[in-house]
Amino acid sequence: MTDRSSPEVVIVGAGPAGCTLAALLAQRGVACVVFDDDKRPDLLVGESLIPGVVPVFRQLGIEDRVAAMSVRKPGASFFVTDGGPRIHFSFKNVEGHLPPYSYNTPRPELDNLLRLRAEELGARFVHARAELVAGVEDGEPVIRLGAASLEKAGLKAEARPLLVDASGRARAFARAMEIPAVRGERNDVAYFAHFEDFDHDEVEPGQVIISVLRAGWSWRIPLPGRLSVGIVVSKEHSKTLGETPEERLEQAIREEPILAAKGASARRVSPVMTYTNYQLLSERGHGPGWVLLGDAFGFVDPMLSPGLFMSLEGARQLDACVFSKGPELLKNPAALTMAMDRYSRRMVQWHEAWTELVRYFYDGRIFRIHLAGKNLAMKPSPFNIASVMERHSTFHIASMASGGYTRSRYSRGLMRMLARHLVWGVAEAENFCVRDVRRQELEKAA
Ligand SMILES: Cc1cc2nc3c(=O)[nH]c(=O)nc-3n(C[C@H](O)[C@H](O)[C@H](O)COP(=O)(O)OP(=O)(O)OC[C@H]3O[C@@H](n4cnc5c(N)ncnc54)[C@H](O)[C@@H]3O)c2cc1C
C-alpha cells in the first residue's frame, strides 16, 4: 500500500496513459495522485487494440476483466475500394514474441477499468481539473500546480512533486509553457458511431477492417453487439458530404461502395462523434520537474491503432526509466534528467517508427508489397525459397503492426528493401493510396 499522505508524483489526466502509470507506481509503492476532470463522453475513439497492449494488461492483472468486456481480435484486414487488393493480417504471425490476439474494447469501460485498478492498488484520484501555473526558471520552462490544486492533492505550498502530463490532446503542459510541436503531413477529420445490423465482411469474427475509400479511409471494429464504423476524410471533402456530422457519416457510408451494401440495413445506435485527426510530436518530452506522457507527448496517426499502445507503453517506459531506479532518483535532479532523457528518446523512437510504418499504408506501398509477394510465392523456385521469403515478410509486417517489431532495425530495413526492389510487375502504389478527394474527381481533373 502506498503512502497516501504526501504524493511524490502528480498525474494530470485519468485516461489510459495516466491510469496505467498510476497503477504501475502504486504497484511499486510510489505515492501518486491523479487529477481527473471527469470529462469522459459516452463514446470514445480508441476501441481497436494491438497485441502489444496485452502484456501490459497482464502486468496490471486485468486481462480477464478486459476480455470479459471485449471482442477478441484475431487480426486486421486492409481493403482497397472498387475491387482493389485485400490484405488479411493474422496476429498468429506474432506468436512466440507477443500474444497472438488482441481485443476490441468499448473505450469508456476500458478507461473505467484502468482507473479502478489503479485505485485498487492504492493510487488516489482527485475529481477536479488540475490548475497549472507556467513560468521560466534558469532559462528552463517550468510548471507547477496552482494553490487550490496543491491543497486538493494534499500537498504543502512548497511541495515540488514530479508532474506528469497525461491530459491527452488537451496537451495541458505544452500549451501552458508554449512548447512547440512538430506536426505531420495530414490534417483530417474523423466521424464515427456505433451501428447494429451493419454487415461485416467475410473475415474471421473480431477482425478489424480498414478500407481505403474513394476519398479517405474507414474503420470497422466489431464490439460486443455492435460495429464501430468511422470515416477519416480531408476537411475539404467532409464539406461535400453534408452539413452535420450525422449527415456526413451517413452520406459517406451511402456513397462509398465498400460500405454501402454492408450498411444498407444498419441502424445507428449512438451519437456521431467528431475528431480532428492529425499527427503531432512535442519538441520536448520533459523539463525540470515535469514530463509528458501518452497523447500529451505525441499523437500517431490512428490507422494502425497504435494510440492506446503508445499510452500504455509510454507509462511502462517511464516507470522503467525513472521509477524502477528507486526513490533516491527523484531527489537527484541530474540523475532524474538523464533518466527522463532516456524515456523521451525511446518515445521519440517509437513515434518515428510508427509514423514510418503508417506511411506505407497511406501511400499504397503496402498493397504493392503484398501483390508482389503473392506473385513471388506462386512462382516455382528452388527449395520453395520464394514462398519462404513471402512468409518471412508477412511475419515482419504483422510483427511491426502488432507493436512487437515496430522499432526493429531489421524489420524496417526489410520493409524499405521490399518497397524499393521487390515490387516489379505490379501496379504503382498510387493506385492504392488514401486520397483527399474522390478518385473520379481527380481523374476528371487530369
Ligand atoms: C480518429 C481517431 C481514432 C482512434 N482510434 C484508435 C484505435 O482504434 N486504437 C487505439 O489504440 N487508439 C486510437 N486512437 C488514439 C487514442 O484514442 C489515444 O491515443 C488515447 O486515448 C490516448 O490516451 P491518453 O491517456 O494519452 O489521453 P486521453 O485518452 O485523451 O485522456 C486524457 C484525460 O485527461 C483529462 N484531462 C485533460 N486535461 C485535464 C486537466 N487539466 N485536469 C484533469 N484532467 C484533464 C481528459 O478529460 C481525459 O480524460 C484514435 C484517435 C483518433 C483521433
**What is residue 366's predicted lDDT score, i.e. its pLDDT?**
94
Bigger pLDDT: 351 or 393? Answer: 351
Judge if the beta carbon of residue 277 lies within 6 A of ligand 1. Answer: yes
Do 366 and 350 belong to one domain? no
pLDDT at 320 exceeding the cut of 80? yes
Q: Whose Cα sits closest to atom 17 in ligand 1?
A: 46
- Whether 2 is covered by a domain: the verdict is no
Bigger pLDDT: 152 or 96? Answer: 152
Q: Whose Cα sits closest to atom 35 in ligand 1?
A: 13
- Whether 444 is covered by a domain: the verdict is no
- Whether 348 is covered by a domain: the verdict is yes
The tens digit of pLDDT for each residue in 124-180 reads: 999 999 999 999 999 999 999 999 999 999 999 888 999 999 999 999 999 999 999
The tens digit of pLDDT for each residue in 84-94 reads: 999 999 999 88
Do 125 and 59 belong to one domain? yes
| 32 bridge partner residues | 9
| Average pLDDT over every residue of 318-338 | 94
Task: Determine what percent of the chain is predicted with pLDDT higher than 70.
Answer: 96
The pLDDT-based confidence of 445 (bands split at 50, 70, 90) is low
Do 111 and 25 belong to one domain? yes
> Domain of 120: which CATH number?
3.50.50.60
Do 321 and 407 belong to one domain? no
Do 294 and 386 belong to one domain? no
State how far the Cα of 216 lies from the Cα of 445, in Å rounded to an integer. Answer: 18
Judge if the beta carbon of residue 294 lies within 6 A of ligand 1. Answer: yes
State how far the Cα of 299 lies from the Cα of 198, in Å rounded to an integer. Answer: 30
**Is 231 within 8 Å of 249 (Cβ atoms)?**
yes
**What is residue 3's predicted lDDT score, i.e. its pLDDT?**
46
**What is residue 4's predicted lDDT score, i.e. its pLDDT?**
47
Do 351 and 367 belong to one domain? no
| Average pLDDT over every residue of 2-19 | 83
Q: Supply the mean pLDDT for the chain.
A: 92
pLDDT at 323 exceeding the cut of 70? yes
State how far the Cα of 335 lies from the Cα of 256, in Å rounded to an integer. Answer: 55
- Whether 207 is covered by a domain: the verdict is no
The tens digit of pLDDT for each residue in 404-425 reads: 999 999 999 999 999 998 877 8
**Is 36 within 8 Å of 116 (Cβ atoms)?**
no
Do 404 and 287 belong to one domain? no
The angle at the Cα of 419, spanning 92 to 221, to the nearest 5 degrees, equals: 40
pLDDT at 381 exceeding the cut of 80? no
pLDDT at 57 exceeding the cut of 70? yes
Judge if the beta carbon of residue 35 lies within 6 A of ligand 1. Answer: yes
Do 427 and 367 belong to one domain? yes
pLDDT at 75 exceeding the cut of 90? yes
What's the grid cell of residue 408? Answer: 526493429
Do 387 and 334 belong to one domain? no
Angle subtended by helix axes 385-401 and 365-378, to nearest 10: 150
**What is residue 131's predicted lDDT score, i.e. its pLDDT?**
96
State the residue range of the domain holding 408: 362-432
pTM: 0.95
What's the grid cell of residue 172? Answer: 495541458
- The closest-lying atom of ligand 1 relative to the alpha carbon of residue 230 is 1
Domain boundary among 356, 376, 392: 356
**What is residue 222's predicted lDDT score, i.e. its pLDDT?**
97
- Report the separation in Å between the CA atom of 295 and the middle of ligand 1, taken as the mean of its atom positions: 6
Judge if the beta carbon of residue 285 lies within 6 A of ligand 1. Answer: no
143 exposure class (CB count in 10 Å sphere: 0-12, 13-18, 19+): buried
- Whether 186 is covered by a domain: the verdict is no
Lowest model confidence (mean pLDDT) among 34-43, 167-176, 236-245, 290-299: 34-43
**What is residue 393's predicted lDDT score, i.e. its pLDDT?**
87
pLDDT at 1 exceeding the cut of 60? no
Domain boundary among 356, 390, 405: 356
**Is 401 within 8 Å of 176 (Cβ atoms)?**
no
- Whether 21 is covered by a domain: the verdict is yes
- Whether 201 is covered by a domain: the verdict is no
- Report the separation in Å between the CA atom of 16 and the middle of ligand 1, taken as the mean of its atom positions: 7
3-class DSSP assignment, residue 235 = helix
How many domains are contained in the chain? 2
**What is residue 2's predicted lDDT score, i.e. its pLDDT?**
42
Do 381 and 335 belong to one domain? no
Lowest model confidence (mean pLDDT) among 126-130, 208-212, 324-328: 324-328
- The closest-lying atom of ligand 1 relative to the alpha carbon of residue 293 is 26
- Report the separation in Å between the CA atom of 159 and the middle of ligand 1, taken as the mean of its atom positions: 29
- Report the separation in Å between the CA atom of 189 and the middle of ligand 1, taken as the mean of its atom positions: 16
What's the grid cell of residue 258? Answer: 465498400
Domain boundary among 356, 387, 418: 356
- Whether 197 is covered by a domain: the verdict is no
Instruction: From 103, 301, 308, give the residue whose CB has the most ligand 1 atoms within 8 Å, as the site to mutate.
Output: 308
What's the grid cell of residue 21? Answer: 502509470
Do 287 and 428 belong to one domain? no
The angle at the Cα of 180, spanning 175 to 181, to the nearest 5 degrees, equals: 105
Do 386 and 317 belong to one domain? no
